[in-house]
Structure 1
Amino acid sequence: MVPQDGLPAWEAPDAQRPTTPLDALLPVRLVDRLGDWGRIVCANGWSAWVDGRLLVAVPRDPPAAGRPLARSADPRPLLARSEDALARYRRAAEELAAGATDGESFRRRTHGLRVGMVVDGESVWLYDAEHERWVYCDGTRLSTYAADDGPSVHGGGTEGAPTDAGPAAGARTGAPEPTQVVEAVPDPGPAPDPYGEEPTRRIPPVTVDPDPSARPGDA
């Protein structure tokens, strides 16, 4: 389903080819993936490419009590990664405060760490650094809330993606390739004359006889 703010759409997995955006809460079927891109089909048969990370998964059946969650919906692995990243930062900060390490070592140890968490009662927002996005969790399942950047054909993965929104066909046969920037070819100038035209020659002036009566053949 399209999220509540609507969703931009493109004719192909190319940010330079936008098309009509999708209305909020519109049900769609996810039929193909190319990195972060997802090709959707609407009920009227209209198809477009969208940022597949932002689609909202709609389960076919309510989750039964005691049944294991799908990997893409289980919040526990992401919670564990967030806790681990926060613990690593805390240990580095404690050593820096105690004088057991210097500022340069602290920067090296914390380089690349990215963690974010907002807890508000049963609602939790977590930053998924592996896939560069924020996800929302109500305690039972994850759903993508926002993405750092636009979709890419080299997406980080599909964990948390709307796998329940329809058959996410892994086959990419016939999917258009990403747009490539080609450098301009310099103008080679005028082509050489294939007939080998000779250069202009200077012709000496013609002497004119001032007495036409003396020309032979005149009577």
Structure 2
Amino acid sequence: MTPTPPGFRPTHVVPPRGLPAWEAPDPARPTMPLDPLLPVQLVERRGDWGYIRCANGWGAWVDGRRLVAVPQDPPAAGSPDGTADPRPLLARAEQALGDYRAAVEALAAAGLDGEAFRTRTEGLRIGIVIDGESMWLYDPREGRWVYGDGRLVNTFATDRAVTGTEDTGHAPTRLVAPEGER
């Protein structure tokens, strides 16, 4: 497991349908696509290109226009704005992971074929980033990422339309002129 880079603080999430990624700001150099609603940190912009870093330290170039800015920075630990106890969400994530693990075990033991495995795992979805006391957890029932400090969780980003908010552009990005404009 790669450790979370120091200072990782998601500024954006990948759009609900995922996002292609590239090794360099060049469409001829594709890499692994990013999962839907993955929290990322936008580090640099070059025109429409954005260089992102993930919680595990992996980085790639993406179409920066398609990233979804998080609605607010995570609240400080102990914030009175916390909306829920994190334990039920953690229990659901633990159950989904257990269900997936059981399906993998059955597949490995030849108790399932590929189609039965797909059927058994259909709809399972979890996402967790834990960095010390900070936690970002995907809540598939509500279609949102929540931020928690161990006591309470707040909505951090959502895949549902949010009205009355705007992209504040608060992401700590370094703007760099495209190659031809330097």
How would you bin the TM-score normalised by the shorter chain? Answer: 0.3 to 0.5
Computing the radius of gyration from Cα coordinates, the structure with the larger value is 1
TM-score, length-scaled by structure 2? 0.44
